[in-house]
Amino acid sequence: MSTAPDFLLRAAEPRDVPAITGLIHELAEFEKLSHLVQVTPETLHPHLFGDKPVVEALVAEAGGAVVAFALFFTNFSTFLARPGLYLEDLYVQPALRGSGIGQALLERLGAIAVERGYGRFEWSVLDWNENAIRFYEKMGATVMPDWRICRITGDELKRFGA
C-alpha cells in the first residue's frame, strides 16, 4: 500500500465538470466500455447543477488537480419505506489507488446516507473486478449474489417507451 498523499474531499462545483467528465472517460476505458460513453461537460452540467439536479458528486483533489470522483443519487426502498443513496460511479486515477482516496470517498458517502436518514447505501461492481470486490468486502459491504441489474437503453428504450 502506498503512502497516502495529501488530498481534499469536497462536494463537486461547476468548475469541476470538465475534470469529472475526463475521469468518466478514464473509467470507461478501464471498464472497456469507451464505445458507450456519450458524456460531455455540456451534457453532464445540467444534471449536477441545473434547475433540477438529479445527481450529486464528490471529488478528491491532490496536488491541485481533481483525481477522483464519486457520482451518486437518491433511490428509494419500498421495503424500508426510506430513501437510499446509490453510488453510480466511483473512480480514482490508477497512480493514486491504494492511497486511501477510494475508502475516504466511500466513508463520506456512508456518512451522507446516515446524516440524511437514509436506509441503505448501495452500488454495483463488475463481476470481473476482483480488486474492487475484495476492497468493498473488506470495508464491510455485502456483494449481493442473487441480484442482477436489468437495463433497457438506446433504441430499445425508445421502442419500449413508444
Question: Given this model, what pLDDT does residue 11 score?
Answer: 98
* Domains observed in the chain: 8-161 (3.40.630.30)
CA distances to 15, 137, 157, 160, 161 from 154, in Å? 29, 33, 5, 10, 11
Percentage of the chain beyond pLDDT 70 is 97
Q: What is the pLDDT of residues 89-122, one digit of tens each?
A: 999 999 999 999 999 999 999 999 999 999 999 9
**Residue 153: pLDDT band with limits 50, 70, 90:** confident
Residues labelled as active-site residues: 136
Question: Given this model, what pLDDT does residue 58 score?
Answer: 98
Question: Given this model, what pLDDT does residue 75 score?
Answer: 97
Q: What is the pLDDT of residues 31-66, one digit of tens each?
A: 999 999 999 999 999 999 999 999 999 999 999 999
In the beta sheet, which residues pair with residue 90? Answer: 70
Question: Please, what is the average pLDDT of the chain?
Answer: 93
DSSP 140: T
